[in-house]
Structure 1
Amino acid sequence: MADRAVVVGLGRSGMGAARLLHSQGLPVSVIERGVGPALEKQAEPLRQRGIEVVLGLPLLPESFQRWRGALQMVVISPGIAWDHPTLGALRHEGIQVLGEMAIAWRALNHIPWIGITGTNGKTTVTHLLSHVLQSAGLSTPMGGNMGISAAELALQLRQPNAITPDWLVMELSSYQIEAATEIGPRVGLWTTLTPDHLERHGTVDNYRAIKRGLLERSEQAIFNADDPDLRRHRHSWDRGIWVSADGPDPDGCPADLWIDAEGRVCEPEGPLFPAESLAMPGTHNRQNLLMVTAAARTIGLSGDQIASGLTSFPGVPHRLERIASRNGCSMFNDSKATNYDAAEVGLKAMAAPVVVLAGGQTKRGDARGWLKQLHDKACSVVLFGSGADELHGLISSSGYSGSLHRCPDLIQAVTLALKEADRLKAVSLLLSPACASFDQYKDFEARGDHFRTLIQHAI
């Protein structure tokens, strides 16, 4: 029996990895713990390609018994914990365990990568950088942790008529990085670091070390000097480009790219263009602008080229996405805000008073900054989903004096939030959940799409 790869899971990354490995001539099997008609339908296209799919097989050592002696590698999706006991048992047997992103890197590392990571901001930076580079005439597809999976992108670029891109702009989560430690981007960007995914990584130190590894393997590293955690560890880096929206000398440490008192993006040689070239609101988006500018300058774009790209940027779906307006109230979809820190950043960017919709599957983290923004800006908070009761207790105990409600789902929450916006004459209505989406949606995109549809139907 020939060497074989087993891919775990029939999700987007698992299907992409299976198809990519199969296209490279490797015998591939896919195992999936679930069963049912929907999964049978999902498996059919793979089976038609000659890829074996076995449903009803959980991630246990005995599930791999049928391929013993031929099993070369096991490929996992980001949703599977890297320290899962079964993966440890496989490694002990000498079987290679990889993430889907590692498979993609092996297929795509002849093209220079821009790897973007961070707790918050990475999706916006990925979209914005890809747009700026493409507007300057470069071919720069994006993917990874959002949009198209890296394996799917590799498959597309293996097609006979595919044109090799100039750069790949890849968003990389901590889950993906820890399972693909061979990735070494030409340019690496680190946007922010706040406690997140601690239920998976255990400690902030573990979480930080995973992201740090990506930047250490990057030929050119770019950092957000305004992030407190990154700035606190700046002394441990002997190289890198540091950017700051707070001027040329944030906290006594010189920046390599900054926004001056006149609102101009500057480098040591002089001003480049006005920061208002990017219309998106919030200080965090000025930091995102600087990260993008630093990467674009590294690649060789002029200030005028970058400014032109920033000016034409349409925004990012699900990240402070303005979707409608009614009776003087602007409505924003910030479904990408899946933790307290991201929700705090979104709320900071809003004009007050704000009606906030929050809820979903709660996560560990420090809620103090988010609660302060609720006190300062929110006239009403409408909670929904499985975490509504927990969030209600958290907000109530903080002494919040605005209107506070609970709803079972987003449908009822939107109806109530619109009434609250009219009653309280709010100028902003913001879906910024501060929670994961998995209690009621497959991902944050599905949650944001549902919110957009509900708002558009209601107005």
Structure 2
Amino acid sequence: MTLTIVVGLGRSGLGAARLLHHQGQKVVVLERGTGPDQTSCAATLQAEGIQVELGIPLEINSFEPWRSDLDAVVVGPGIPWDHPTLNGLRQEGVQIRGEIELAWEALNDIPWVGITGTNGKTTVTHLLSHVLGHAGIVAPMGGNMGVSAADMALKIRRGETPKPDWLVMELSSYQIEAGPNLAPSIGIWTTLTPDHLERHGTLEAYRAIKHSLLQRSSLAIFNGDDADLSAHRPSLKRGMWVKAAPPCHDDPPADFWIDDAGTVQAREGGAMFPAKVLAMPGAHNRQNLLLVTAAAAQIGLNAEQIAQGLESFPGVPHRLENLGSTSSADVFNDSKATNYDAAAVGLQAMAGPVVVLAGGQTKRGNATGWLAELKSKACAVVLFGAGAEELDALIRQSNYQGQVHRCTDLSAAVAIAVRATSELQASSLLLSPACASFDQYQDFEARGDHFRDLMQPHMHVG
């Protein structure tokens, strides 16, 4: 029997190993770590009949004991697709596969909505899944958030969850790169700004990966308000376009838009419902509303069903999540703002003056828009984490006139921010990191949860 090796005991690796084992394949999991978490995961998998080897680095020689039977190596999105070891294995004739591709092969009898984009994809994923579910369509979400795609496939194929009508899948550039056969029924592209350039090298390479998913989608839906997508419209696959503002006479046609009276309009069908049915703040959420409306309409929902779903949406944790108020200011958790552009969009939705907490592991990108929003809205910026010094220099060079504080971690940052909010009479306190979380947290969710816990003693009750 041929062998598949799964690299890593992360969420994707666990799902992939279990799915392959369920399919009757011989599987070995290699994990470089040897800590308590890895040991516990290994024991669980071994009890299920899956071999696990700990303390094994991702090097060519690590695969030698299994080389005679080795057919494929499966990696999660955290491992670069062009890692030298993976390239070496390819040259030896070993298939390199992404976890997402295993899930696609197991679930491609169910129609997929594949949602990608630099920013906005998580909100659109949550919102579309909710709107469809509210209308009685079973459409769970997964992929780049929550449940791994392979784990979702396993639960469905085991009969542990009912077979869905649709799958609403958030897909990162890493997953698209590792899933060249993914071909959703509907593809949605929310935005494109420079991100993950440490991994992909250039904006052009990053754009091409995103574009490939839309090219393979039966129907493509694009955000016409995004500057990059709009500029590249002539080269993009024909599809549906949405625009939050009414199209001008010289604009390319839009399929869905919001008119001057605030009503969602469809090119085929006319007036649908007031855009205000979605209570989430910010112009970017009007774009998200339209992308979801376009997809839901294609799936078969009418205007009333879509409006009811939008109106009942509770919001997304860590995306401009309103945590309540201190005695003087509203508190928002935007931990998902992991780059400059996402942080700028969050600030645009705020009423100033704002005290902003920013920091973490910095990324390559253009900070111009973010700095402009800080200068416009923020009366104080509290910096924390590994990137605090770099961000401090960036902000001071921009001639920002507000207060700038620097500290080591989020706990200290919250104490300073709460004090500054009171002293400066700020209307809002906003966690908007503009950075990845990996310097001090497992992910942005853990960072946002910690912020929520740290803020709890300061919140106004009653």
- Structure 1 length as normaliser, TM-score? 0.99
Partner of 1:319: 319
- Structure 2 residue 415 is the aligned partner of structure 1 residue 437: no
Change (3 A) 1:278 1:435: same
Instruction: Report if the CA contact (8 A) 1:264-1:274 is conserved.
Output: yes
Residue aligning to 1:189: 188
1:6-405 to 2 correspondences below 5 Å: 6-160=5-159, 162-249=161-248, 252-268=251-267, 269-405=269-405
- How far 1:457 moved relative to its partner? 2.6
One-letter amino acid matched to 1:310 = L
Contact 2:214 2:237 in 1 (8 A): no
Q: CA deviation at 1:94?
A: 1.2
Q: Percent identity?
A: 64
Report deviation, 1:249.
Answer: 3.7
1:153-188, Cα deviation, whole Å (9 max, x unpaired): 011102235321000000000000000110000000
The answer (yes or no) to whether the contact 1:357–1:433 under 8 Å persists in 2 is yes
Distance of 1:151 and 1:250 partners within structure 2: 47
Note if contact 1:357-1:431 (Cα within 8 Å) is conserved in structure 2: yes
**1:110 is paired with a residue of what secondary structure?**
coil
Secondary structure of 2:357's match? strand
Match of 1:363, SS? coil
- Separation in structure 1 between the aligned mates of residue 36 and residue 232 of structure 2, nearest angstrom: 51
Deviations 1:234-284 (A, max 9, x none): 011351000000113486211111000000000123110000010000000
Question: Which letter does structure 1 place at the counterpart of 2:55?
Answer: G
Q: Which SS does the other structure have where 1:102 is aligned?
A: helix
For residues 209 and 236 of structure 2, the distance between their equivalents in structure 1, rounded to whole angstroms, comes to 15
Task: Check the 8 A contact 2:362/2:435 in 1, yes or no.
Answer: yes
Is the Cα–Cα contact under 8 Å of residues 119 and 194 in structure 1 kept in the other structure? yes
Output the CA distance in 1 between the equivalents of 2:362 and 2:240.
35
Residue segments in structure 1 that go unaligned for 5+ positions in a row? none
> Is the Cα contact below 8 Å between 1:12 and 1:149 reproduced in 2?
yes
Whichever residue aligns with residue 173 of structure 2, its letter is: S
Is this contact kept in 1: 2:2–2:69, CA < 8 A?
yes
What are structure 2's unaligned runs of at least 5 residues? none
Alpha-carbon separation, structure 2, partners of 1:394 and 1:113 = 42
> 1:175 & 1:30 partners in 2: Cα distance?
21
* Distance in 2 between residues matched to 1:235 and 1:55, nearest whole Å: 50
The one-letter amino acid paired with 1:171 is E
CA-CA distance at 1:229 after TM superposition: 0.4
Q: CA RMSD in A?
A: 1.0
Q: Could you report, residue by residue, the CA deviation over 1:172-221 in whole angstroms, capped at 9, with x for unpaired residues? A: 00000000110000000000000000000000000000000000000000
Q: 1:418-442 CA deviation, whole Å, 9 max, x = no partner?
A: 1110111111110010000000000
Contact 1:248–1:256 (8 Å) recurs in 2 = no
Q: Distance in 2 between matches of 1:161 and 1:438?
A: 33
Moved more, 339-348 or 236-245: 236-245
- C-alpha separation in 1, matches of 2:457 and 2:71: 52
Relative to structure 1, the CA distance from residue 251 to residue 24 in structure 2 (aligned partners, 3 Å threshold; closer, same or farther) is: farther
Contact 1:244/1:250 (8 A) holds in 2 = no
Match of 1:451 in 2: 451
Opposite residue 39 of structure 2, the aligned amino acid is: E
CA separation of 1:454 and 1:179: change in aligned 2, threshold 3 A? same
Equivalent position amino acid for 1:264 in 2: T
CA distance in 1, matches of 2:105, 2:324: 43
* Contact 2:356–2:431 (8 Å) recurs in 1: yes
CA–CA distance in structure 2, aligned partners of residues 370 and 95 of structure 1: 44
SS in 2 for 1:129: helix
Q: Contact (CA 8 Å) 2:350, 2:428: kept in 1 or not?
A: yes
Contact 2:328 2:421 in 1 (8 A): no
Deviations 1:57-113 (A, max 9, x none): 111111000111211110001010011011011111111101110011011111000
Q: 2: CA distance between counterparts of 1:153 and 1:356?
A: 37
Opposite residue 144 of structure 1, the aligned amino acid is G
* Counterpart AA for 2:305: Q
